[in-house]
């Protein structure tokens, strides 16, 4: 892995920040299918937040890298029967899209631990194949999350459709930003809008992303065998 890769991605983020914006979006390094050694190599360059798609796959890496101070985000769909394990392993769950999951995570997040940071995942392009709640469901879910002291409502996450037309992708990011601003009016603790990946992080940041999730641009192309979503 070229040592300049993390630097290059951070530079892309820096260059994408709109003029006049005071804050720098966070980088979440998406490490699905990557071995713990690859994660350790990026961490050694100063990256601390990593995203994983599968609870089981993450469990092994989190154990291997325990004690290194990394922050772990679940960014893949979470089945309710894995909520207990996820609530114990992760610092953030970005894919909360139904009330049953809110209740399960709240039940299983140990009271002695820091609150579990939670993002509501929105199916912003209303794709039948995608997880995420409808825009109209965001407020009820946010209120349910905010009612639990061991969950911290932090904001919204989306995976817009990879539409070839840039204007369509921009529009999805804009609709997410409008939802995010409306949510922040009612829940002032909200500070995270997670959207944008390797191919479109500039567009997402231009439209207000505060966190981008980047895999391929950091680690190289994934092996097809491990690439199911
Ligand atoms: C894999 C994945 C990413 C990273 O995608 P890249 O195109 O490799 O940067 C971001 N978000 C989610 C939810 C993912 O599953």
pLDDT in tens, 122-171: 999 998 888 999 999 999 999 999 999 999 999 999 999 999 999 999 99
Give the Å distance between the CA of 198 and the centre of ligand 1.
7
Residue nearest to atom 13 of ligand 1 (CA): 75
What pLDDT is recorded for position 128? 86
Residue 31, ligand 1, Cβ within 6 A? no
Q: What is the pLDDT along the chain (229 residues), one digit of tens a residue?
A: 444 589 999 999 999 999 988 789 999 999 999 999 999 999 999 999 999 999 999 999 999 999 999 999 999 999 999 999 999 999 999 999 999 999 999 999 988 999 999 999 999 999 888 899 999 999 999 999 999 999 999 999 999 999 999 999 999 999 999 999 999 999 999 999 999 999 999 999 999 999 999 999 999 877 665 444 4
Residues with Cβ within 8 Å of 19's Cβ and at least 6 positions away in sequence, in order, are none
| Shortest-distance atom of ligand 1 to CA 217 | 9
Helices (H), 95-149: 99-108, 138-146
Q: How many CB atoms are located within 10 Å of the residue 166 CB? A: 10
Residue 216, ligand 1, Cβ within 6 A? yes
30, 75 in Cβ contact below 8 A?
Answer: yes
DSSP code for 133: B
| Shortest-distance atom of ligand 1 to CA 75 | 13
Q: CATH code for 6-219?
A: 3.20.20.10
Residue 32, ligand 1, Cβ within 6 A? yes
190, 155 in Cβ contact below 8 A?
Answer: yes
Q: Where are the domains of the chain?
A: 6-219
Angle 97-100-106 (CA atoms, 0-180°, nearest 5)? 95
Q: How far apart are CA 1 and CA 191, in angstroms?
A: 32
Give the Å distance between the CA of 112 and the centre of ligand 1.
32
Query: What would the pLDDT profile of 106-123 be if each residue is shown by its tens digit?
Result: 999 988 999 999 999 999
Residue 61, ligand 1, Cβ within 6 A? no
């Amino acid at each position: 892995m070229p040592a300049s890769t993390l630097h290059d991605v951070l530079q892309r983020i820096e260059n994408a920040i709109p003029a006049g914006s005071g804050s720098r979006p966070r980088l979440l390094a998406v490490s699905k299918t990557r071995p713990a050694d690859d994660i350790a190599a990026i961490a050694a360059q100063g990256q601390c937040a990593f995203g994983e798609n599968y609870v089981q796959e993450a469990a092994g890496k989190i154990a291997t890298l325990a004690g290194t101070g990394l922050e772990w985000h679940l960014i893949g769909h979470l089945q309710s029967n894995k909520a207990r394990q996820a609530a114990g392993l992760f610092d953030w769950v970005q894919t909360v899209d139904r009330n049953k999951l809110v209740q399960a995570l709240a039940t299983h997040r140990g009271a002695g631990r820091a609150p579990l940071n939670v993002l509501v995942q929105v199916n912003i392009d209303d794709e039948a194949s995608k997880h995420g709640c409808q825009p109209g469901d965001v407020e009820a879910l946010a209120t349910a999350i905010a009612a639990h002291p061991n969950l911290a409502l932090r904001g919204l996450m989306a995976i817009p459709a990879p539409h070839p037309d840039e204007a369509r992708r921009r529009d999805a990011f804009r609709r997410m930003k409008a939802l995010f601003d409306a949510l922040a009016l009612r829940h002032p603790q909200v500070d995270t809008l997670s959207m944008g990946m390797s191919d479109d992080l500039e567009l997402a940041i231009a439209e207000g992303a505060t966190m981008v999730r980047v895999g391929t641009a950091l680690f190289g192309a994934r092996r097809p065998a491990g690439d199911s979503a």
